[in-house]
Amino acid sequence: MVMGKAKLSKPLIFQSKLLCVSLLYLVTTLFLALYTSINPTKCLFRSSPFDPVQTPFFSYPSSYGEHKYVIPTHRSSCSSPIYFSDYWMVLNEILHLCQNSSVSSHALREEVPCGFFKRFPISDPDRMAMESCHGVVVVSAIFNDHDKIRQPKSLGSKTRDNVCFFMFVDDVTLKRLDHHEIISRNSSHEYNVGVWRIIKVSSKDHLYDNPAMNGMIPKHLAHRLFPNSKFSIWVDAKLQLMVDPLILIHALVVSEKVDMAVSKHPFFTQTMEEALATARWKKWKDVDGLRNQMETYCENGLQPWTPKKPYPSDVPDSALILRKHGLNNNLFSCLLFNELEAFNPRDQLPFSYVRDHMKPKLRLNMFEVEVFEQVAVEYRHNLKKDGTTAGEISSLKRTKRVADDLFINSSCCSKCHNYLLEMWGESHD
């Protein structure tokens, strides 16, 4: 510095390149965080970030661990985004549809066999509560303490007044819930956990020996258990809903003018791929039964998926199913359940066979996997004593032709031979 003159210099903040880069990174990160909080994903678009979302109203004891073992997702893009309308507009439209819809499941049961004929083993008060649900019902089930009860998130302020939440459990699961002291009871002996009305299904009088098959009743016969409901959402107990059910029904069913909405399978397009994986990963141990099932379908017209089909896949991810109760959906659900009762509770196997053969045709929205991963969070099943999870699969990859377990020693003469050749692109017809 020269005496008598003050030399101007850059502020200290600009003299360090590292500091400048750090500040730029901080500002950028804050901006992206703010943007993400308003638009959390490229797959979901809301008309307003100010929907009247309720704050959490139920907390679990730390010992219950309802958020353990979450399954991470890694998809960074979305090929088919969906648009969510304003909550109040959705609420009014759904209420209008429910009030002006006349749906009856009884007439269909007189014409088409629909699963079990015995009385579903629940109490009369629970049955009356189910029949009093006249709008939208969200249904889930836990048998043999297979999962945790998880509360749906982002519920609008009027949703609990207009949506029923029912969770079916057996004696084993109910005892476990009692152990953690998370069940509330009222004077009418009604069980509740947060938003969920707990429906006890008697283990002594259960309809099937296999717990998975008992779970298929509320999963696929919601129109029978809730005869006055107009819409339903099935949510596997391994899932936690992250979007208001009214908004989901409106975006995926009502706006699309369909009978049912379900996600595409994340790995498989062909029914036979799912059948091979079911045998290979021992998701159903009766391989001879699986072979008989698939050969029965092939013999009666099961065709592999091609772009000529009006659906983007033959295999759904049936953990989340959204339905508009009516003739088409009810018929499909009944026919599908009959296949499960005849063969096994792996509901992805008969899906395309029933869908492609039934008349009238099912109007179906098979949405992208990326959407599914944004509207629900998936968790692993409860840990068993050996530290593994029930039904756990370490890494599912596309099934290859070599070393398949389902058609070993019989692929050359199988009734599904032509199906397999066409699926593998080797058909010369």
Question: Residue 381's pLDDT is what?
Answer: 79
Averaged pLDDT, groups of 10, the chain, 429 residues long:
51 59 59 46 61 72 69 70 90 94 60 78 94 96 89 93 96 86 80 94 85 93 95 96 95 97 96 93 90 95 95 97 96 96 96 96 95 91 54 36 48 75 74
Give the contacts of 58 (CB within 8 A, at least 6 positions apart): 151, 193, 194, 195
Question: Residue 261's pLDDT is what?
Answer: 98
Report, in this order, helix, strand and coil percent for the chain, each rounded to 5. Answer: 35, 15, 50
Provide the token pair at 255: 């706006």
Question: Residue 50's pLDDT is what?
Answer: 60
Rounded to 5°, angle at Cα 175 from 169 and 180: 110
The pair phi, psi for residue 231, each rounded to 5°, is: -140, 150
Type and span of the H or E element at 264:
strand 260-264
- The answer to whether 275 and 290 are in contact (CB under 8 A) is yes
Question: Residue 78's pLDDT is what?
Answer: 73
Distance from first CA to last CA of the chain, Å, rounded?
92
The stretches of 153-303 forming alpha helices (DSSP H) are 159-162, 171-179, 211-220, 222-225, 245-249, 271-280, 287-299
- The answer to whether 312 and 264 are in contact (CB under 8 A) is yes
Look at residue 60 and give its three-state secondary structure: coil
The pair phi, psi for residue 141, each rounded to 5°, is: -155, 145
The stretches of 153-256 forming alpha helices (DSSP H) are 159-162, 171-179, 211-220, 222-225, 245-249
Question: Residue 341's pLDDT is what?
Answer: 94
Q: Beta-strand (E) ranges in 299-370?
A: 316-324, 364-367
Strand 136-142 relative to strand 231-235: parallel, antiparallel, unpaired? parallel
Give which of 198, 330, 326, 322 is closest to 260, Cα–Cα.
322
Give the contacts of 187 (CB within 8 A, at least 6 positions apart): none
Question: Residue 281's pLDDT is what?
Answer: 87
pTM across the whole model: 0.82
Question: Residue 386's pLDDT is what?
Answer: 45
Question: Residue 189's pLDDT is what?
Answer: 76
Give helix 327-342 / helix 211-220 axis angle, nearest 10°. 170
Question: Residue 67's pLDDT is what?
Answer: 63
The residue type found at 3 is M
Burial 279-312 (b: 16+ CB within 10 A, else e): bbeeebeebeebbebbbbbbeeebbbbeeeeeee
> Which residues face 241 on adjacent strands?
376
Provide the token pair at 283: 């998701």
